[in-house]
Amino acid sequence: MEIKNLTLKDFDQAYKFWERVGLWVYPLADEFKKYKSMYALFPQFFLGLVDNNNVIKGTIVGAFDGRTASIHRFAVAQEIQKQGYGSQLLAALEEIFAKEGITKVTLQVHESNLKVMDFYEKKGYSKDQVVNFKKSLS
């Protein structure tokens, strides 16, 4: 198992992986548009955990808005969870953020997945006092 940079060629496999692990995803074409535009800005923030056959077993994607970095599409295949791979992926992305001079990282946890907060707390994240609002413009 190794951590490598994902490229645009990995998108189809990554999308199937996200569906399989139960991450909420946009329809394929929309998701690809977002992946491509984020990738154009920071390709180094796209990491995959792959097995010896280059099959994706985990992913983490970072973004940066100029002030704060954020974490997206973070998951490890169910059959290899709780073996330290999630910690490795997170640490690898945090190291890349740090090299870019980024000092603050945020992430969102869906209300239906609050159990994952234990993981983030172990990794030094704490719950923010901010409530997010959203509006669709189309």
User: Which spans of this chain sit near ligand COA (rule: CB under 6 A)?
Assistant: 21, 74-76, 81-87, 109, 113, 115-116, 118-119, 122
Q: Which residues pair with 4 in a beta bridge?
A: 48
Minimum distance of ligand COA from residue 20's CB (angstroms): 11
CB of 107 vs ligand COA, minimal distance in Å: 6
- State which residue has the least CB distance to ligand COA: 86
Residue 78 CB, nearest approach to ligand COA (Å): 7
Query: Residue 95 CB, nearest distance to ligand COA (Å)?
Result: 15
In angstroms, rounded to a whole number, what is the distance separating the alpha carbons of residues 105 and 2?
24
CB-CB contact of 56 with 85 (8 Å) = no
Strands (E), 1-138: 2-5, 46-50, 56-64, 69-76, 105-107
Residue 62: DSSP 8-state: E
In the beta sheet, which residues pair with residue 37? Answer: none
Q: Which is nearer to ligand COA, 132 or 138 (CB)?
A: 132
For strand 105-107 and strand 2-5, is the pairing parallel, antiparallel, or unpaired?
A: unpaired
Q: Which is nearer to ligand COA, 63 or 138 (CB)?
A: 63
Kindly tell me which of 102 and 116 has the beta carbon lying closer to ligand COA. 116
Token reading at 51: 């097995």
